Copies of this chain bind each other. A is one copy, B any other.
């Protein structure tokens, strides 16, 4: 079965419902899931934006917040509009790079997203990330320290380079091989593609 690579950014609004749903639906479909954190900042700056497009274009931003509220309501995902947007998810992304194969990783990802989009907490604050880690692992402080090592910082830089190479321009983005699915609205399509493409030996399914 072709794995689904789930590219996400902790600051990204539509990544929130997607991150809360992706493990459940990929597991139900038998599609292997790979969590791929990255940062939108460098990608947005390359497009000439020094802020979220939802802040730069207020009409689009107003719509997005209402749309996100509707989506979360429908999916039963808690939501409270954060007072800070976008937040800096660098530390949390580094933890994900460090812990990509740990069994607690999906819980960590979801807890950070909840802190941002349901609890209005400051996810750039190391104490907030430590608090989340302490509920999941022994020696949370060690995890934070290793997340900040040069070797691990390099892991996130390489992820970023790969995101750019793949042509990723927003989050969340699901990649199944070279096939791209952008947005929370496309999770089910990405899963169907991963299942279909395995059935027909990797060729595209339309």
The interface of chain A, by Cβ under 8 A from chain B, is: 47, 57, 59-60, 62-63, 66-67, 69-70, 73-74, 167-170, 180, 182, 185-186, 189, 206
Instruction: Please determine whether A67 and B182 come into contact, CB atoms closer than 8 angstroms.
Output: yes
Instruction: Please determine whether A167 and B47 come into contact, CB atoms closer than 8 angstroms.
Output: no
With A167-B59, A185-B185 given, is the CB distance from A66 to B206 under 8 Å? no
Copies per complex of this chain: 2
Looking at chain A's contact residues, the main secondary structure is helix
Report A7 CB to chain B, min CB distance, Å.
13
Find chain B residues with CB under 8 A from A189 CB.
70
Residue ID in chain B nearest A73 by CB atoms: B206
Report A126 CB to chain B, min CB distance, Å.
33
Residue ID in chain B nearest A180 by CB atoms: B63
Instruction: Please determine whether A169 and B60 come into contact, CB atoms closer than 8 angstroms.
Output: yes
Q: List 17 A-B contacts (CB under 8 A).
A: A47-B57, A59-B167, A59-B168, A59-B169, A60-B169, A60-B170, A63-B167, A63-B169, A63-B180, A63-B182, A66-B180, A67-B182, A67-B186, A69-B206, A70-B206, A73-B206, A185-B185
